[in-house]
Amino acid sequence: MRILLLGYGKMGKTIERIAIERGHSIAGKIDVQNRHEMDALAAADVDVAIEFSAPEAAYDNITYCLKRGWPIVSGTTGWLEHRSEIENLCMQQQGAFFYASNYSIGVNLFFRLNRQLARLMKGQAYRTSMTEIHHIHKLDAPSGTAITLAEGIAAENSSQKGWKLAPEEEDGFVQIEAKRLGEVPGTHIVRYESEVDTIEITHTAHTRAGFALGAVISAEWLPGKTGVFGMDDLLEDLD
């Protein structure tokens, strides 16, 4: 399979290594310095694109691929105010778009555990909060993973209306503290506190390899499909 890489930072390089190990070839490596090189690629040169760029570039990158007829897997966060536009374009073009805030299989199992815990905590006298820790190069805050966790809590517990980024705090909203430290790949802690005890669940990534592998597996799964997909679709298909 010929994979176009959009974004060639640390994540892009890790995806490249894993893709080659799994027998794929790289059709192109596009970053901010050479974005014009995409125009030289023929439609037949690319089987699927994997996009881990920057929030300000993601919308244009995804739009470009959908208009070229290339299935695209995106993991960039911080641009989701335009997500409905992308999903509408995907359907108009009869294309294939796969988005996840986190491609780690472990994190997606953590998402399911988070929703189950939120259901159990419904009606209990606990204050809900979250801490997410990432490397200093991460541009958006809170992380897309933290937002997905908060949305999962709100979906299962009607007492939670959404989230607020610390230090902002309001009853009925999950307060998210975002820390940027060193080269931390990603840690997420969901916390329930009462006067008598604290319950926490934590996911800690040790390397970027888990995220990159999940993105490559998603890219292997996507070609030949039409529509908008996410990790739940992939995991259900792999069961």
What CATH code is carried by the domain that includes residue 35?
3.40.50.720
Binding residues for NAD(+): 75-77, 100-103
What stretch of H or E contains 220?
Answer: helix 209-221
Binding residues for (S)-2,3,4,5-tetrahydrodipicolinate: 135, 144-145
Q: Specify the 3-state DSSP secondary structure of 145.
A: helix
Residues (pLDDT < 50) of the chain are none
Q: Name the residue among 233, 211, 239, 207 with its Cα closest to residue 221.
A: 233
**Structure confidence at residue 239 (pLDDT):** 64
Amino acid at 173: F
Residues 185/70, Cβ–Cβ less than 8 Å: no
**Structure confidence at residue 45 (pLDDT):** 96
Q: Domain check: are 61 and 120 in the same one?
A: no
Q: Domain check: are 132 and 62 in the same one?
A: no
Q: Domain check: are 132 and 149 in the same one?
A: yes
pLDDT tens profile 177-207: 999 999 999 999 999 999 999 999 999 999 8
Distance CA 21, CA 126 (A): 46
Q: Name the residue among 131, 157, 148, 144 with its Cα closest to residue 74.
A: 144
**Structure confidence at residue 80 (pLDDT):** 87
> Which domain, by its residues, includes 14?
2-99+209-238
Distance CA 124, CA 215 (A): 37
Binding residues for NADP(+): 35
The catalytic residue positions are 134, 138
**Structure confidence at residue 138 (pLDDT):** 87
**Structure confidence at residue 147 (pLDDT):** 94
Q: Domain check: are 92 and 173 in the same one?
A: no
First to last CA, the chain: 23
Tokens encoding 83: 């997500």
Return the CATH number at 140.
3.30.360.10
H-type alpha helices, 29-121: 55-68, 83-93, 105-121
Binding residues: 35, 75-77, 100-103, 135, 144-145
Q: Domain check: are 176 and 216 in the same one?
A: no
- Cα four-point dihedral sign 58, 68, 73, 216: negative
Q: How many CB atoms lie within 10 A of CB 136?
A: 10
